[in-house]
Amino acid sequence: MNDWTGSAQTELLRLRDRTGAWGYRNDRSPSVEPTALACLGLWSCRSHSPPEARRGAIQRGADWLQTLQKSDGSLGIAPALPSPCWTTPHAILLWNALEVHAPARRRAAAWLLEQKGNPIAIDAAYIGSVVGHDMTLVGWPWIEGTHSWLEPTAMAILALDREGLAYHPRVTEGIRVVLNRALSQGGWNYGNTSVFGRQLRPQPGPTGLALLALAAQASKLRPRSVDPAIAYLLRTLPDIRAPISLAWGVLGLRAWNATPAAAADWLSESYTQYTGRPDVTAGLSLLLLAHGDDPFVSREPRS
C-alpha cells in the first residue's frame, strides 16, 4: 500500500463527527456529500488495506445517509436542510457500491428520474448570440426549478448508470446535455459554453466529471468531445495540486484509460500539500477515489 493512502484513510476517519458522518469542515455539521464521498473514498481502498477495519465506519456512514432519505426518495444536503436535494445521486452511488439499502436506492433513483432542469425555449437565432448552449435540452439542476447544469447532470447520469438505468431516455438526454456543453477548445466548465459569443474557459473538475459521465453512456461510443478533454487534462493537471480538481481530473482520465504514470505522484503530492486542513474531507476522499481500485463509477474503463 502506498504510504499516503494509509495516512489519508486514518485522517479521514478522524474527521468524522460523533454521528459517524462527515461535514465539509471538521468544525461544521455533517452533510450528505462529504459523507458519501468519504465512505466511497475509504471503500475504494479495500484491495490495498483490510476492509474490516473501515467497513464499520463506511456502513455507519451509509446508514446515516439512509436516515435522511425522505418519503419521496430524495435526500437533502444535510439533516437541517431537507432541500435542495442535488446530493441524492451521491447517496445512490455509495449504497450501490456497498450493495446495501436496495429499496432506498430504488426510491432515490425513481425520484432522480423525475427531476428536470428547466428548459428555456427561445428563438434559435438568439442562441449563439447570447448563450452558446442548447437551452431546450433537459438535464438536472442543482436546485429544483432552475436550469440544467453540468455537474448535477453528470452526477445523475453516474448514479442512474450504476442502478442499471443507462438506457433510460433521461440518461440519454443527459448525455446530450453533457455533449452540448463541451467547449470547443476541449473540456467543460460548470455548464456555460459561451456568452455573447465569447468561449468560456474549461475547468479540470467539471471536465473529469463529464468524462466519467460519458464513459457511463450505454452506446459505448467515443464522443468527439472526449479526446480534446483528455488533452486539456493532460496539459493542465501536471500543475494542479488542489485535491478536488486534481482528483476529478484523474478520475476522468482513468475512465478513458488515459492516466499517465505521473498521476500517482500528483495525487501523493496533493495529499502531502493539503493534509491537515480543516476543510480537506472532500479532497481527501476524492484523492483516495482517484487512487483507489474502484474509480468511482466506471465499471469498464473505455479504450
Specify whether the CB–CB gap between 236 and 207 falls below 8 A. Answer: no
Q: How far is the CB of 300 from another protein (least distance, A)?
A: 28
Binding mask 96-115 for another protein (x = CB under 8 A): --------------------
> Which x/- pattern over 147-166 shows residues binding another protein (rule: CB under 8 A)?
x-x-x---------------
Residue 10: CB atoms within 10 Å: 12
222 binds another protein per the rule CB under 8 A? no
Which is it for strands 198-199 and 194-195: parallel, antiparallel or unpaired? antiparallel
Selected from 2, 7, 29, 172, the binder of another protein by CB under 8 A is 29
17 lies in the site for another protein, by CB under 8 A: no
58 φ/ψ sector (left φ>0, alpha ψ -120 to 50, else beta): alpha
**DSSP for 159-201, written as a single string:** HHHHTT-TTSHHHHHHHHHHHHT--TTS-B-SS--EETTEEPP
Alpha-carbon gap, residue 64 to 100, rounded angstroms = 12
User: DSSP 3-state assignment of 81?
Assistant: strand
Q: How far is the CB of 220 from another protein (least distance, A)?
A: 30
Q: What residues from 237 to 256 belong to the interface with another protein (CB under 8 A)?
A: 240-245
Least gap, CB of 160 to another protein (angstroms): 20
Residue 106 burial (C-beta neighbours within 10 Å; 0-12, 13-18, 19+)? middle
Which has the closest alpha carbon to 153: 139, 134, 167? 139
Nearest residue (CB) to another protein, 61 versus 243? 243
Cβ 196 to another protein, closest distance in Å?
6
| Residue 81 in the binding site for another protein (CB under 8 A) | yes
* One of 102, 195, 218, 221 touching another protein (CB under 8 A): 195
Q: Shortest distance, CB of residue 74 to another protein, whole angstroms? A: 15
Which residue in 14, 18, 198, 224 binds another protein (CB under 8 A)? 198
For another protein, which is the closer residue by CB, 179 or 240? 240
Is the sign of the CA dihedral 99, 101, 106, 110 positive or negative?
Answer: negative
Residue choice 1, 53, 102, 143 for contact with another protein (CB under 8 A): 143
3-state secondary structure 133-154: CCCCCCCCCCCCCCCCCHHHHH
For 293, phi then psi, to 5°, come to -95, 10
Beta-bridge partners for 291: none
Q: Which cell is 86 given?
A: 442535488
The binding site for another protein (CB under 8 A) comprises 23-25, 28-29, 31, 33, 77-78, 81, 84, 86, 118, 120-123, 126, 130-131, 135, 141-143, 145-147, 149, 151, 189-190, 192, 195-196, 198, 200-201, 203-205, 240-245, 274, 279, 282-283
